């Protein structure tokens, strides 16, 4: 087995471990972004989640990106061809972020030192909930193994996010039920 594949397996193990040990979505997403970046030798990685209206991608977590780049502006699905493609279920690669018209902020990518990207969808059942992005500081092609690795991580991420959302909903429902029962016994 190649050293690169060993890195992928180690990263998958670390991601699975954190998913099983934490329902804190922020912590889980932070570790996932770091693992993707480290395992693939990337400049950075980010996870963006669809807002309730499905019009913008909100930052869930990132690793390796500057605060200035993170605050560059809203990522709007309609203006970001690469995210639109990914949210429809496709893996998307961009060889040159500064010249590809699908990339919403090419000038900011240049300032940040981002040359190439790979974007894969986060899906729960048949519904897209966000994207996982990998950023390279050199123009490059992404291998099938790299895209497969990111797809696996994206699937695990989507499961973790959905589990955290369900946990939060159950917690709220339980608290409402407790409050209701308390009022019943007081009366």
- Domains in the chain with CATH codes: 3-186 (3.30.450.40)
Structure tokens of 175?
Answer: 């608290």
Q: Are 99 and 122 in contact (CB under 8 A)?
A: no
Q: Please state, for a pLDDT cut of 90, what percent of the chain lies above it.
A: 58
Instruction: Say what the pLDDT of residue 187 is.
Output: 56
Q: What is the pLDDT of residues 67-119, one digit of tens each?
A: 999 999 889 999 998 899 999 999 999 999 999 999 999 999 999 999 999 99
Rounded Cα distance between 182 and 187, Å, is 9
Take residue 181 and report the two structure tokens written for it. Answer: 């029962």
pLDDT digit string, tens, across residues 34-66 = 999 999 999 999 999 999 999 999 999 999 999
Q: Is the dihedral of CA 23, 27, 31, 33 positive or negative?
A: positive
183 Cβ contact partners less than 8 Å away, ≥ 6 residues apart: none
Span 5-32, pLDDT tens digits: 788 878 877 877 777 776 577 888 898 9
Q: Are 136 and 115 in contact (CB under 8 A)?
A: yes
What is the pLDDT, as a whole number, of residue 75? 93
Q: Say whether pLDDT at 136 is over 90.
A: yes
């Amino acid at each position: 087995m190649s050293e690169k594949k060993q890195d992928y397996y180690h990263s998958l193990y670390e991601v699975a471990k954190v998913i099983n040990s934490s329902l804190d979505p922020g912590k889980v997403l932070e570790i996932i972004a770091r693992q993707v970046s480290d395992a693939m030798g990337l400049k950075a990685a980010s996870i963006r989640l669809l807002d309730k209206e499905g019009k913008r991608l909100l930052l869930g977590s990132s690793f390796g990106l500057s605060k200035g780049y993170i605050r560059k502006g809203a990522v709007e699905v309609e203006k970001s061809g690469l995210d639109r493609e990914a949210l429809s279920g496709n893996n998307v690669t961009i060889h040159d972020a500064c010249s590809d018209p699908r990339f919403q902020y090419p000038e900011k990518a240049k300032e940040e030192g981002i040359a190439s990207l790979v974007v894969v969808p986060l899906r729960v059942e048949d519904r897209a909930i966000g994207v996982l992005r990998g950023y390279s500081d050199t123009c490059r092609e992404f291998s099938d193994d790299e895209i497969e690795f990111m797809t696996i991580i994206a699937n695990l991420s989507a499961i973790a996010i959905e589990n955290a959302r369900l946990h939060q909903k159950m917690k709220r429902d339980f608290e409402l039920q407790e409050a209701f029962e308390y009022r019943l016994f007081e009366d």
